[in-house]
Chains A and B, each alone.
Chain A
Amino acid sequence: MSRMLLKGGRVIDPSSATPDLVRDIAVHDGRIAEPDAAAAYDQTLDLAGSVVMAGGIDLHTHIGGGKVNLARMLMAEDHRERGNPIALPANALELASCGGCAPGTLATGYRYVEMGYTAGFEPAMVPSNARHAHMEMGDVPVLDHGAYVMLGNDELFLQLLAEGGPEMRNFAQIRDYTAWTIHASKAMGVKVVNPAGISAFKFNQRKLDVDEKHVHWQVTPRQVVHSLARALKELGVPHPLHIHGSNLGVAGNIQSTLDTIAALEGLPAHLTHIQFHSYGTEGPKKFSSAALQLVEAVNANPQISIDVGQILFGQTVTASGDTMRQHANSGLANPRKWVGADIEGMAGCGVVPFRYREQSYVNALQWVIGLEIFLGVRNPWQVVLTTDHPNGAPFTSYPHLIRLLMDRSFRDEQLARLHPEVAANCALKSMTRELTLAEIAVMTRSAPARLLGLKDRGQLGIGAAADIAVYREDHNREDMFRTPSHVFKDGTLVARDGRITATPVGGTHFVEPGFDPIIEKTLRRHWQDHGAIHFDNVAISHDELCRCCNGGRLLPTACFEGSA
C-alpha cells in the first residue's frame, strides 16, 4: 500500500470535466485516487508552478521488430560519436545502449521516459515477425507497448478478396482471418501499408493507384482498405484501421489520400504519417502543399483521425513496410545504401537512410506541410503528434516540435531559415494559431488513448493508471517538454529531472476479437501449401507472449460490442 499526494499542480487533463485546473492528485497503489484530507500520505510533492499531465502515449513509433533491427545494423554511423565510441551511461540503472535515429531498445525506453512518455506502439508488425517484435518491445524498459499487425499485402488476404468478388461474398471469412491474425500475433490493431502494393511489387508492379488492379490478384487498394476497415468495425476492435496509404511521397498523392478516405465510405480509420501523403503538383517544381485539401477532408470526416509524421531537419533513417515506395526512393538514400526485403508471402520492408535539409525545396516543403496540417485541423482529438519515428525524425525531437506548434515567433524564425521559395510562398507563414497546453495534451496522450481504446490511460481521472508527467512551467516549451521534473509509471517514480530512477518492465497491450475457429482449416491448408513454418507454430500463446515481453504484464483491451 503506497499513497502519494501531488499538491497544487496545474493539472491538464482534457478527458476530464475540468481540463485545466490547479488541483491535487492522489495516487493510491499505482492508481489515481480521490485526494483525502484525512489520509496519511507516504509522500507529498509540492507541484506549485508545475504542469501535470498523464504520461505521453506515442501511437506510431517504430521501436521494435525486423526492420528496426536492420536499421540499427545498417546505421553503424549512428552508433559512434564522430568516430569515437559512445560514452557509457553515468547512471548505474542504465545498461549501455546507443543510437539517435536507430537507438537500441534500452536507449529507446530511457529517452522516451525522460521526456515523460509512458507508452509506445509499434505500427508495422509483420505477422511472421511478431515474436521478434514483441521480444524487442519487451526489451524497451518502462514503456507499455503494443503493435499493429500488417494485413492487406499477404497473399492469402488478396486471394480471399479476389475469390469473393467486388460484392465480397466471403466477407465472413475475411473478417475471421483478420481476427485470427490479430489473435495469433497478439496485436493491438491492424495496419495496412500501401494496400496491395507491397505484394504488387513482388509481381514487379512499380506503382498502384487506389483504383488500379494488382497485376496478379486483380483486386484494388480500394477493396483492400474497405474490407479491412469494415472487418475491424464489425469485430469491435477499438483502434480503427491504421492506414499508410498508396503512393507515399509521390507528388500529387493527395488524390490517393482523398480516394482512400472515400473508399472508407464513412467507416472509421486512422490515416498515419499523413504529411507524406499530402502533396500536390503545383508550382515550378511540380511539388506543392496539399495540406489545405487534407485539412478540409479531415474536418469534414469526424470518423477519421490522423497522425502527422512531421519531418525535422537532420540525419535519420526511414524504416517502412512499403517495399515498393522505398525501392523507388532508394536513389535518394543518404548515406548511399539501403536494405529491402520480400517477406514470407505476407509483407516486405525497406530501410533507407535519409538526411532532411533546410535548403532542399522538397524537404522544406515537407516540414511546412506537416505544420500546416497540425495547425489547420480544427479538432485536436483527430490529430496525434508524431514524427513517425524515425522516418520524419527521431522521437527525441518531440519537444522541439511542440515548441514549433505553441510558439509562433519561434516557428517564424525557423521558417526563415528554409529554402527561400518555400519560406516566401507557403500558407504557414500567415498561420497565427498557437496550440495551447490542453491541445498538446490531447495530441500526445488523450487522443491516442481514446483512439486505442485505452480506458485507464492517457487521463488522470479517478481509477486511471498513475502514469504521470510533471513539467516545470517554462515559456520555452522545448525546454519544458524536454525534461519533466517527475515521471511516474503506475505510481512508481521512473525519471527525475531527466535521470532514470527505476526500470520496471512495461506491459503489453493487445486485443482479442472473436472468430469462428472453422477459419483455421483454411489457414492450415494455406500454411501447408505456401508457408515455411508449421501452422501449429504460428500463433503466440499468452504464456509465450509473457516470455517474449520479458515477464511484463499482459494488458488485454476489451473490444466494443461489434455488429457481427
Chain B
Amino acid sequence: MTATAAVPSEVWTCPFCPLACDQLGVETPAATGRFSLRGGACERAERALGRFDGAPATPTVDGRPTTLDAALQAAAALLRASRQPLFAGLGTDVDGARALYPLACATGAITDSAGGEPLIQGLRALQDRGQFTTTLAEVRTRADVIVFVGGLPTAMAPLIGARCGIVDSQLAQRHVVMLGGSAEDETTLAGWAGPGVSVESIALTGDLFDTMALLAALTAQRRLPDAPPALAALAQRLHQARYGVLVGAPPRLPAQGALIIEAVHRIVDQLNRKARAAALWIGGGNGAATANQVFAWLSGLPVRSRAGPHGLEHEPHAFDANRLLNGAAVDALLWVSSFDADAAPPATALPLVVLGHPAQAAACQRAGAVFIPVSTPGIGCDGHVFRTDGTVLMPLHAVRRDSLPTVADVARRLTALMQAEGTA
C-alpha cells in the first residue's frame, strides 16, 4: 500500500466504512476548522469528514432545545411508557453496544441494526452450514486469485482494491475476476490491471443465483456440457490457485442473498478438499457488525433478539426492524447512529429517541421525538469497531475531543433512570 510511505505520527482509524483503514490521516487546518483527509484519497471518508462542520448540536425534546438532563428524563419517560420498544440503527462502537445491552434488558427492547437484513442473511448462512473465511492480511499477502462476486463493493468500501493488495506488490502475479458488475465496476477493474495483476470480467449467466449455482457445480467437477467456458475456466483456475479468495458484499446482494452466501461457502468448502480457498465478506459497517458481536458475546444471541416476557428470544425474521415498524408491532423507537449522518431513523410517527450524529438534528425535530447528539468514535472520542473480516477489533482515536456524550454515557444514564423508576 503506497500510502504507508507517508505515515502520520499519530494514527487515525477511519470509522466510516467496513474496512476501518488506518493508513490515512486527518488534518484540521486552523483556518477552516474542517477535517480533511491526509496521505491519500477516499471519497467515502472525505464525504463523512465533511459532515462535522455544523454548529454544535444541542439535545431537543419535541423540537425544542433543552439540556442533556431534561432530554434524558424525556427519553426515559418515553421508554417507560412503551410496552414494546425497538432499538434500531445500533450505529455505535463496543462501549456503546456494551451499555445498550443492559438498557435493552431493562426495557425488554427488540434490537436490530441498520442494514440488519444483509447481516442476518450472512448469519443464517453461518448457522445453517458454517463458513470458511479469511482476513485482509491473508488476502494481501497470499491470494493469487481473487473473485469479486456480484461486482465490486467500491461504493461501500472505496479502498477495497488496495486493502486486498491488488495494487501493491506482495505477490508476483495475481488474477482478479469480477462476476457481474456495472460499467463503472468495469472501469475500476480495468484500472487495476498492470504489472503483476491480470483482470477478467465474467458476465452473469442468468442472474447471480444462477451463475453461482453453475460455478458451484463446476467447482464440484460436475459435467455441464453447456456451461459457459469462462465459468468453467474460472472453476479450473480456482482449483489450481495457491489461495483463491471469493469476495462478496452482503449489503449489495439481492433479496434472499443467503443463498448466494451459501453458494460461496459451498464453493470454498469444495476447493478446500484438495486446494486452498476462503471467503471474505465486506459489510457490517457503521457499527452494525460491532453491535452484533457485542450482543452475541454478552447474551449468547446476535441482534434481532430480546429479553422479553417469554425469555431470551432470537427471531431472525420476525424481529426485522422494518417489519416491526410496518406491522405496528412496536410502540417506541430508539435509534442509534453515531457514525453515519445520513442514517436517519425510518419514517415513523411512533415516540422516538435518537442518539445521533450532530448533523441529524434537523431531521429529528417533531412532537414526540427526543434528539440527543452524541460523539462520533474516531472523531470526537476514542472507541473500537470490528473490521469487516470480524477478527480485528480496530482502535478508534479521537481527532478532536468534543463535549458531546458518547452513546455509552447516554445508555448508562438511561439504564440508571429506568432502574431508579423500577425501585421507586
Contact = CB atoms under 8 A, between A and B. Distances in A.
Contacts of B135: 128, 341-344, 532
A349 to B, nearest CB: 8
A104 interface: yes
Interface string A71-114: 01110101111001111100000011111001111110000000
A96 B105 contact: yes
B297 A339 contact: no
A120 to B, nearest CB: 15
A103 B310 contact: no
Nearest to A63: B297
Nearest to A350: B132
Interface string B58-77: 00000000000000000000
A70 B296 CA distance: 9
B13 A537 contact: yes
A283 to B, nearest CB: 30
Contact of B394 (A73, A85, A537): A537
A129 B300 contact: no
A347 B300 CA distance: 24
Contact of A531 (B130, B137, B272): B137
Contacts of B307: 88, 95-96
Interface size grouping (class) on chain A: 35 or more
Interface stretch (B40-48, B94-102, B221-229): B94-102
Contacts of A425: none
Contacts of B324: none
Contacts of B311: 81, 84-88, 96
A305 interface: no
B313 A85 contact: yes
A203 B386 CA distance: 27
A269 B247 CA distance: 41
A107 B276 CA distance: 37
Contacts of B384: 131, 135, 548
Given A72-B296, A88-B311, A98 B301 contact: yes
A202 B394 CA distance: 24
Given A104-B297, A202-B243, A530 B141 contact: yes
Contacts of B98: 139, 550
A74 B130 contact: yes
Contacts of A537: 11, 13, 22, 394-395
B390 A66 contact: yes
A84 B134 CA distance: 34
Interface stretch (B121-129, B185-193, B346-354, B356-364): B121-129
B52 to A, nearest CB: 22
Given A72-B300, A85-B308, A139-B298, A340 B394 contact: no
Contact of B134 (A73, A98, A341): A341
B393 interface: yes
Given A135-B94, A343-B391, A202 B142 contact: yes
Contacts of B140: 530, 532
Contacts of B81: none
A85 B384 CA distance: 31
B126 A74 contact: yes
Interface string A32-71: 0000000000000000000000000000000010101110
Interface size grouping (class) on chain B: 35 or more
B256 interface: no
B126 A79 contact: no
A341 B300 contact: no
Contacts of B293: 69, 132
Interface string A307-342: 000000000000000000001000001000111111
Interface string A523-555: 000001111111011000000100110100000
A532 B79 CA distance: 42
Given A76-B314, A96-B307, A342-B278, A532 B126 contact: no
Chain A interface main SS type: mixed
Contacts of A534: 4, 7, 11, 22-23
B154 interface: no
Given A69-B297, A96-B105, A339-B130, A129 B123 contact: no
Nearest to A530: B141
A250 to B, nearest CB: 18
A139 B294 CA distance: 10
Interface string B275-308: 1101000000000000001101111111000011
B51 interface: no
B392 interface: yes
A532 to B, nearest CB: 4
Nearest to B311: A85
Contacts of A341: 132-135, 278, 391
Contacts of A74: 126-127, 130
A95 B102 contact: yes
B138 interface: yes
B137 A85 contact: no
Contacts of A85: 308, 310-313
Contacts of A342: 133-135, 138, 278
Contacts of B382: 547
Contacts of B259: none
Interface string B26-42: 00000000000000000
B127 A76 contact: yes
A128 B126 contact: no
Contact of A79 (B170, B275, B301, B394): B301
Contacts of A131: 384, 393, 395
A533 B138 contact: no
Contacts of A337: 127-130
B131 interface: yes
Interface string B336-356: 000000000000000000000
A532 B4 CA distance: 11
B417 interface: no
B163 interface: yes
B297 A64 contact: yes
B202 interface: no
Nearest to A330: B130
Contacts of B130: 74, 333, 337-340, 351
B136 interface: yes
Nearest to A136: B297
Nearest to B301: A79
Contact of B299 (A76, A97, A128, A201): A97
B17 to A, nearest CB: 14
Task: Pick the most buried of A98, A342, A345: most chain B CB atoms within 10 A of its CB.
Answer: A342
B391 A102 contact: no
B129 A73 contact: no
A5 to B, nearest CB: 33
A128 B392 contact: yes
B141 A79 contact: no
Contacts of A406: none
A344 B142 contact: no
Interface in B1-33: 4, 7, 10-11, 13, 22-23
A106 B298 contact: yes
Given A85-B313, A344-B138, A534-B11, A528 B4 contact: yes
Contacts of A202: 138, 142, 243, 276
Task: Pick the most buried of A66, A104, A135, A532: most chain B CB atoms within 10 A of its CB.
Answer: A532
A473 B285 CA distance: 54
A337 B382 CA distance: 38
Interface in B358-399: 382, 384, 386, 390-395
B300 A339 contact: no
18 contacts: A72-B296, A95-B101, A97-B298, A98-B299, A98-B300, A103-B300, A104-B299, A129-B392, A131-B395, A333-B130, A341-B133, A341-B135, A342-B134, A343-B138, A345-B138, A532-B135, A532-B163, A534-B22
Given A97-B298, A105-B298, A135-B297, 17 more contacts: A69-B297, A79-B312, A79-B314, A80-B314, A104-B297, A106-B298, A131-B393, A132-B386, A132-B392, A139-B297, A340-B133, A341-B134, A342-B278, A534-B11, A536-B7, A536-B11, A544-B395
